[in-house]
Each structure stands twice: as structure tokens, then as C-alpha cells.
Amino acid sequence: MFLLTLGAFAAPFVDVSDPSLRPADPPAGVELPEVDSPDSFVVGGAPSAPGTWQSTVSVMYGSMPGCTGTLVAPNVVITAAHCVTPEAPTAVRTGSVNAVQGGQLIPVANATFHPSYDGYAGVDLAVLQLQTPSNSPITTIATDCVEAEAVYDGAPAAIVGFGSTNPQGTQYPDVLYEAMSSIRDADCSQDVLNGMQTTCEPALRPAGELAAGGNGIDSCYGDSGGPLYVQGDDAIWYLAGVTSRGFAAQNCGSGGVYVRPDTHLAWIEGIVGPLPRPGCGQPPTDQIDDGPPAPVPDPKPDNPQETGLLTITSTWMPVRKNRLGGLELTADGADGELVWTLEVDGQIGTAAIDGSMLFYTPPLHWAGEDLVVVSVTDATGHRAEAEIAVYVGAAGGCDQGGGAPAGFALVGLLALLGRARRD
């Protein structure tokens, strides 16, 4: 029903409008290994909550979903070239986390794939122009300042799509799934990553594609054409990649290759006209609606809590929704070096201490209040303990929380802190 291949290039066109082409078995001649967790998702994620990732669309072939796409203008969807045939796709479903119901079903007026794509190689990118505009929010392509801020080796990224939820590519829930991962090669300049053939096309270097995912988190069949989202310093999610194909691993879960729409923006705009750009200081007018915001209260007045001679002066921590928050812990009355300890973890999110920094990871798409308890000991043995109130609010506010999207803690806090930003 779609053609996210696991070899060097995307597979040739087929009539994906035929429901019988939804793969019930692996491709001919490919033996896929058994996995211990057959119920893993996107692969390696979880169902998306209603009202999230609203720019992600289901690409339809008659009554059947086949690929995924991203709404980059009210009447423009970006998807993969190998998702396009002379007769299909016929429509897209926008504004729903279910591929076959809800939202708006909008006919496709015109489908254009990149002129370099020949069914096997080239830029695996296509533009779908819709007959009527969608009411759903759009996503801006990660260009300009966002490309520098968020598209680099090791950058956190969200894989989102309507594809298969097991590595063999045989389970299709028709529900949108999401998984947090990272960009592994922002320029797709490597032929091999960790001993795995990446399938990056040398002809499209530099920066025509990127590699992302792996370690059990990956796009799969049916996610083709779907988004790889990154988050800018403004806490807004942007489109950094378009799902094309997997690494040469013969099963989903080892990582994949994504076409970079920023590199091919001139071709896209040559078809549909100018598209929105990142604000680079001001948020763009159109962006993903990530649910109703939760208010972030004004800072509480200092309320130091003492034990002995030490006084902990840090008492509250603002965190952006869908972000890893950080707070430098401070204390008065210290004698010598301070040693900070996490005494009680959050009841909802997860906290960790590195030196004098307290980090808090909220659940994805959650906003509200939580509480952690920390202690500090100085060189003379004096000790203090304090409650730190954590306030998780809507992304984009002028708070002090920042860093990587929530959920990225799964790759390890120390790896996150030590990441190297691209020049």
C-alpha cells in the first residue's frame, strides 16, 4: 500500500489504491527476524493524543490509507515521491489521529513528484495540492534560523506517522503514532553508521537527506512521506524530514533516511508559491496546535527552607510543555563545595541532578504542577532539604525551562547534556 523500502532506494511505483497490496507478509525474498516485543509502535512509540500533530495527514488511495504527509500550507501537503502514481493519491485526511475517520477528507487536485526521482533513485519528495484548504494548523519547514538551531547530529526529533506498529511491517492500527528519537546524520554524509548501511544517496549530498532513528525507534511501512519534526529554540515544532526509506537492515527499527525539505524548498515553492518561514525571533502565525495551554504562574516569592546553617534558595522551576527543563540549584550559607541530591522524584515527571543542575522531564503533551525534593550538603557536613515546585506550561512562553523535547530522556540524560551542535 506504500513503498517505504528497506534497501538502497525507494521501490518503483505500484497501484497502491488496491487494498490487497497492504503487506501482510514481508517483501518477497526478505526474511525478517523475530522480535521480543511485537507490540512496539511507529516503531518504538505510542499513540498520539487527539488534537496533537494536527499537520500530520493520512494520504488516501480510494478508501484506503497508504502513506503519511505533512500540511505545510492550508492546501499543500508534502509527502514522498514513491507515494505518488498517475492515478493516486486521491485524497488526504487532515485533523484526525485516525487514518480512516474524523477530520476533513479533502480530494487531491494535483500531485507532483520531484523531477529527479525515477522510481528508484533521486529526490524522494512530492507535493500534493488540495482542492480545498484544510482547517487544520500547518507546520513550517525548518529553514533559516531553525535549521541552525535544531537540525544537527544528535538533535532531538519526533517521528510521526500512520504506519505499521511492528518491525516486520504487518500490523496497521490506522491510528497516528509518535516516537521521540534523534537525528544521527544531519547531512546524510555517512555510508555506514554503527556498522549499518544507511542507504544515503551520494548524489544528494550534502544535506539533501538526513538519517534519524534507530535502537528500536523508527518509521516503518505506511509512515512514508510523513514528518520528522524538530523543535526550534522558540519551542515550536518544524518539519525537518520527509520519511523515505529504511537503513539496509531488512526490518524497521534500525533507523531510516528522510528527505530534507529545506534543501528542496525552491522546487516546492516553484509549484505552490511562497510558504511560511520561521519567525526567527517572532513565532510564525501558523503552527502546530499542541492542545490548550496550561497557565504558568508568576514566580513565587522566595521561601527559603533551612536546616542548620544552609539555606536552599531555589524553590520553583518553570518548564515548557514538551521540553526538558533545567534549573541551577542555589543555596546560601554554604561552607565549601556543595553536593546536591535528589531525595524525592516527581510524581508525574522524572527528575535528575547533574552537579548543581536539576533537570525535569514531563510526560509528552502534559501540562500541570509537580513536586520534587532535593537536599544539599556542604563541606562541613551541614545539610538542607527543600521542596521544588515544578510548573509545566504551554510551549513558547518566556519561561526559564528549555532544552530538548520531553521524552528524549530515553536516550540518556548525560548524552543529551554532552551533545555537539552543528556549525
345: domain CATH number?
A: 2.60.40.10
What's the CA gap between 143 and 278, in Å, rounded? Answer: 7
- Judge whether 178 lies within some domain: yes
Instruction: Judge whether 224 counts as a catalytic residue.
Output: yes
Kindly state whether residues 329 and 204 are assigned to the same domain. Answer: no
Kindly state whether residues 371 and 242 are assigned to the same domain. Answer: no
Kindly state whether residues 233 and 356 are assigned to the same domain. Answer: no
- Judge whether 292 lies within some domain: no
Residue 272 — pLDDT band, cuts 50, 70, 90? very high
Which residue in 17, 48, 55, 124 is the catalytic one? 124
Kindly state whether residues 118 and 27 are assigned to the same domain. Answer: yes
Written as one string, the DSSP assignment of 37-71 is: -TT--TTS-EEPPTTSSTTEEEEEETTEEEEEEEE
- Judge whether 279 lies within some domain: no
DSSP 294: P
- Per the prediction, the chain carries an average pLDDT of 76
Kindly state whether residues 212 and 253 are assigned to the same domain. Answer: yes
- Judge whether 46 lies within some domain: yes
Residue 43 — pLDDT band, cuts 50, 70, 90? low
pLDDT tens-digit map of 353-394? 888 888 888 887 777 888 999 999 988 888 999 899 888 874
Kindly state whether residues 268 and 389 are assigned to the same domain. Answer: no
Phi, psi of 350 (to 5 degrees): -120, 130
- Judge whether 284 lies within some domain: no
What's the CA gap between 279 and 265, in Å, rounded? Answer: 17
- Judge whether 9 lies within some domain: no
Instruction: Judge whether 124 counts as a catalytic residue.
Output: yes
Kindly state whether residues 118 and 216 are assigned to the same domain. Answer: yes
Residues 6+ apart with CB under 8 A from 115: none
- Judge whether 181 lies within some domain: yes
pLDDT tens-digit map of 314-324? 778 887 766 77
Question: Length of the chain in residues, anyone?
Answer: 423
Kindly state whether residues 227 and 321 are assigned to the same domain. Answer: no
- Judge whether 295 lies within some domain: no
pLDDT at 218 > cutoff 50: yes
Q: Which domain holds residue 226?
A: 19-272
Which residue in 224, 244, 254, 375 is the catalytic one? 224
Which residue in 82, 114, 264, 382 is the catalytic one? 82
Kindly state whether residues 375 and 232 are assigned to the same domain. Answer: no
Instruction: Judge whether 82 counts as a catalytic residue.
Output: yes
